Structure formats: structure tokens, C-alpha cells
Amino acid sequence: MFTGVLVEKSKQVLKMQRNYFGTDGIRGRVGTYPIKPDFFMRLGFAAGRVLGGTHLPAGRDRPAVLVGKDTRISGYIFESALQAGLLAAGVDVFLSGPLSTPGVAFMTREMNFTAGAVISASHNSYEHNGIKFFEKNGRKLSDDIEQKIEEALEDEFVMEFSVRQALGKSKRAIRCQEEYIYFCINSFPAGYSLKGINVVVDCANGATYNVAEKVFRGLGANVHLINADPNGFNINENCGSLYPKGLAVSVLKHKADMGIAFDGDGDRVVFVDGCGHVFDGDKLLYIIAKHRQSQNALKGGVVGTLMTNLGLENAFRKCNINFERTKVGDRYVLERLHSLGWDLGGESSGHIICLDKHSTGDGIVSALQVLASVVISGHSLRALCADIKEVPQVLISEPVNPGYDFEQDADLLRATQEFRKEMGDSGRLLLRTSGTEDVVRIMVEGSDGDFTKKAANSLAKIIQTSNR
């Protein structure tokens, strides 16, 4: 068992090299730099200059970038600003309209675009927005390319009208939703269906609102759709994978077999069974891994993160499934999977990656892998992960002032050392700066549930005091 104080400063480490890109693209509060229209126009120009030289799609005389977005109201203005910058850089722009992050990744690869971009702040509320880029293969940009874009942001923004083909053209990308629906359906095992399964689907008023129902109905399920009426302001608002209690209520109301909740940009998934019990990413990852092991289809092992519950690691050990941890963030899970040559990894949040199905985390595709395990085995969600004995774990995201460095907080460090001594070898304590928000995430895990709550709450109060 790993013991002591784990410290991860992913955002701060990245910022030593980059000013804008964090662990998951660029993200922040709308109206606060850099989440402003003028920056997105400059970013489009810089990204177009850099990405435009990486790949010219067959049959085109200019690079082409697919731009998608989720359903938040600010997406319209940032879409237009990004589009203007890309066009000025001589890049053709194809607009998909609302499309999930994994949907953009798929279409970028499928349609041989130079790159893809999705305007989204993932699981955050509508007051936030951001952007993620994908390379032509549907993978997120490498650190090297992000660095080049940041360097290009320092160049002067000059549109070249003197050359006939210096400016790009803009078009509407048609059939993106239909192609993505077909892709998702075909990720389900051939010869099986969801016929007879009654499921509630929560789209978080986000980017899956126009595709999720069609996928599950297409496989034969009886679907009750909730939170699929976005108005620009209600994305992730007390719904979706971050707030599964509402889904549990709906499952009980409809007497459904289970419920499935996505986040605003569709890359996370959480399940609820017919009794209203929530199954997070750790449990879903276990269900998929065990099923693949039973089918002799598990390649290598499973990658989790420092936040993965110790109970999952113990369960994998008992059934002889290799398990490795990496830093928090899907980009780090992906990096480790590629380095190991494995296919399966994920996070407790419900961000699950199945590289044999997709190049990135996909909530719908991951949900279908869980459902395949249920259908083929004939067992319930609870039965499939009965061997996981979760260790009590408390997670707190404590807001901090920009620039706050918890490693320089003497009171906080003193308290962590005291809790470390008290825990001995019976638990783990993790402090990390978020890569997407101005918060410090606190995780305390151990055999004594009361102690974990006490320790986590005490550390949160110290951080509150330091940030008044």
C-alpha cells in the first residue's frame, strides 16, 4: 500500500512551460482572460498557422479544421471568433454545431481533417468555457504542438489579402451527428442488442442531447430521456454525471433497469442501477476489465490515476489484472496506455478510455461497453463489481485565489505531516492543484472513515483561511 502525502502540481508544472494550455486544453471563466473573443481569434490564427503545416487532407488545396461545440451560450461567440482566426490563417473551417468532444475526435479522424477543435468547458457550469484540439488521428495535441501554438500566439495577427488563396473558406459540416451515432452503435458487440432493457439517459443538457437517445434506441433499448433540453445556461446544472441523484430518482420513478448520465461534453459516464445505487468510474472500469478478461480480450492491464480508490487496485490484484497509476487527467492516462501498449484506463470521475474502440474517452462508447458486460454475462451491475471493497475516501475541491501555491503554505504542510503520522500505513493523502480550475483537490483515503472526513475537512479549512 502506498502511504504518506502525495503531491501533484500538474497545472503549475505545465505553466512553467505554457501560459494557456493546461492538462485538458484551455479553460476558464467567460470574460476573464484568456476566455475572451479577441483571444480566441488570435488562438485560431496561431493554431491555424501551426496545425496547417501538419497535414493537408487529400483532395484539398488548403488545410481543413472541424470545429464543434457543446451547448453553453458563449459557444456561439467563441465559435465565430475561432473561425475568423482560422480563416485568416488560410484554413478551411467546417462547423459541426453541437457535437460532443469524442464526436469531434471521431469525425476529425474519420473525415481526414487536418485537426479538430471543440469549444467546451466539459463538466463545468455555463459561466465557463474553453477549447480542446485534436490531431488528424483523433488524439489530443502533443505537448510539443501546444508549445508551438503558444509561441505562435506571440506573432502579429496579420491577414494576407495579397495572395489569392491566402484566406480559408467556411462550410457547414453535415451528417456529423448521424455518422457519430452509427459509429457508437457499431462499437457494441455484433449479434447482441439492448432489447428489453429499460434505461433512463441523462444528457446533462449538453452535447449528447441530440445523439444519445438515438444510439440506445438504435440498439433496441427502451429509453427515457432527461436533461436533454439545453437553453445555453443549464448545461451541467444539477444534472448529468456530476449530480447522479436526480438520475436515481428518475430511475426509480420509471422503474427502469438502470440509468446512464453523461457530462456536458460527453466524455464522462456514470451509471445508476434499478435500486438507485450509483456506480462511478472505478466500478465501471472494473466491470469492463473483468468482462474483457473473461473473453480473453484484455490487452495488458488497466491504467488508473492517483485518485483511483484503493479498493479497485486491491480487486484487480485478486483477479490477476495488472494495474498502474498515473497523474490525474485523461491526457496522462492516454500517455501511459500508449507507452504500455494497453487499451483500457480511466478515472473515478467516469472518464473511461477504450483505445480499441476510440482514440479518446467517450461516455457513450464506454456506457455501451458496460452494457455489453451486463447483456453477455446476464448479471446485474452490483453483481459484476461485488468483489470491489471500496476504501473510505473523501474528496474535496477547495477554491483558491489565482497563484496560490499550497506547497508554500506552512500551516497546510504541517497539518498534512501530522495526519500522515496518524494514518501510518493505513491510507493515502493526496493534495493537487487542478489543471482546469482555481481549486486545490484534497483526497484522503483510509480504513477509518471518520478519520478521513476529519482530515479532509481540516485541510480544507486551512486552505480557506489562507485564501481569505
- Mean pLDDT across the chain, nearest whole number? 93
For residue range 58-98, what is the model confidence (pLDDT) as tens digits? 888 899 999 999 999 999 999 999 999 999 999 999 999 99
Q: Is 122 among the residues known to form the active site? A: yes
Region of poorest pLDDT, from 239-253, 314-328, 359-373, 413-427: 413-427
Query: Looking at the structure, do residues 333 and 207 belong to the same domain, yes or no?
Result: yes
Work out the pLDDT band at 447, boundaries 50, 70, 90.
confident
pLDDT for residue 148: 95
Which of 364, 384, 404 corresponds to the end of one domain?
384
The answer to whether residue 18 is domain-embedded is: no
Q: What is the pLDDT of residue 128?
A: 97
Mean pLDDT, residues 115-132 taken together: 97
pLDDT digits (tens, 9 = 90+) for 262-275: 999 999 999 999 99
β 301-305/322-326 pair status: parallel
119-140 mean pLDDT:
96
End residue of a domain, out of 350, 384, 418? 384
Residues 162 and 200 in one domain: no
pTM, 2 dp: 0.90
Give the residue with greater pLDDT, 1 vs 132. Answer: 132
For 295-325, what is each residue's pLDDT tens digit? 999 999 999 999 999 999 999 999 999 999 9
Domain membership flag for residue 309? yes
pLDDT for 279 equals 98
In a domain, 167, yes or no: yes
Q: What's the CA dihedral at 340, 344, 346, 352 to 10 degrees?
A: 140
Tell me, yes or no, whether 15 lies in a domain: no
Is residue 408, in this structure, part of any structural domain at all?
yes
Does the pLDDT at position 8 exceed 60?
no
Task: Give the whole-number percent of the chain exceeding pLDDT 70.
Answer: 95
Q: Which of the two residues, 155 and 449, has the higher pLDDT score?
A: 449
Handedness of CA 44, 48, 54, 57 (dihedral sign): positive
Statement: residue 450 has pLDDT above 50? yes
Same domain, 147 and 251: no
Are residues 160 and 146 located together in one domain of the fold? yes
Q: For residue 248, what pLDDT band results from cuts at 50, 70 and 90?
A: very high
Give one DSSP letter per residue of 30-58, joined into a string.
TTSTTSSHHHHHHHHHHHHHHHTTT---T
Please, which residues have CB within 8 angstroms of residue 165's CB and are 6 or more apart in sequence? 61, 62, 90
Q: State yes or no: pLDDT of 336 exceeds 70.
A: yes
In this prediction, residue 1 carries a pLDDT of 36
Q: Would you state the pLDDT for residue 57?
A: 87
Share of the chain above pLDDT 90, in %: 84
Q: Please give the pLDDT value at position 3.
A: 39
CATH code assigned at 453: 3.30.310.50
- For residues 228 and 357, state if they share a domain: yes
Give 54's pLDDT tier (boundaries 50, 70, 90).
Answer: confident
Q: Which residues have a Cβ under 8 Å from the Cβ of 424 and sit 6 or more positions away?
A: 3
Q: Which domain holds residue 144?
A: 31-174
Instruction: Count structural domains, the chain.
Output: 3
290 in Cβ contact with 374 (< 8 Å) = no
Do 63 and 129 sit in the same domain of this protein?
yes
Q: Is the pLDDT of residue 11 over 70?
A: no
Q: Are residues 407 and 377 in the same domain?
A: no
Residue with cell 472494473: 286
Q: In this structure, what DSSP letter does residue 421 have?
A: H
According to the model, what pLDDT value does residue 4 have?
41
Which cell numbers in the block locate residue 337? 496506455
The CATH number of whichever domain residue 73 belongs to comes to: 3.40.120.10
Cell numbers that stand for 244 in this block: 447522479
pLDDT at 126 over 90: yes
Within this chain, do residues 413 and 375 fall inside the same structural domain, yes or no?
no
Q: How confident is the model at residue 10 (pLDDT cuts 50, 70, 90)?
A: very low
Report, as an integer, the average pLDDT of 393-400: 93
Convert the pLDDT of each residue in 149-195 to its tens digit.
999 998 877 666 555 558 999 999 999 999 999 999 999 999 999 99
Answer with the one of 147, 174, 201 that is the final residue of a domain: 174
- Same-domain check for residues 77 and 63: yes
Helix, strand or coil, per DSSP, at residue 264 = coil
Q: Is residue 276 part of a domain?
A: yes
Q: What share of the chain is helix, strand, coil (3-state, %, to 5)?
A: 35, 20, 40
Indicate whether 219 and 125 sit together in one domain.
no
pLDDT mean over 208-221: 98
403 falls in which pLDDT band (50, 70, 90)?
confident
DSSP codes joined into one string, 106-135: HHHHHTT-SEEEEE--TTS-TTEEEEEEEE
Catalytic residue among 74, 100, 122, 466: 122
**Is 401's pLDDT higher than 60?**
yes
- 283 is a domain residue: yes
Same domain, 90 and 212: no
345 in the same domain as 219: yes
Q: Which residues of 292-321 are buried (b: 16+ CB within 10 A; e: fewer)?
A: bbeeeebeebbbbbbbbbbbbbbbbeeeeb
> Looking at the domain assignment, is residue 13 inside a domain?
no
Convert the pLDDT of each residue in 178-187 to its tens digit. Answer: 999 999 999 9
Range name among 104-108, 331-335, 430-434 with the lowest pLDDT average: 430-434
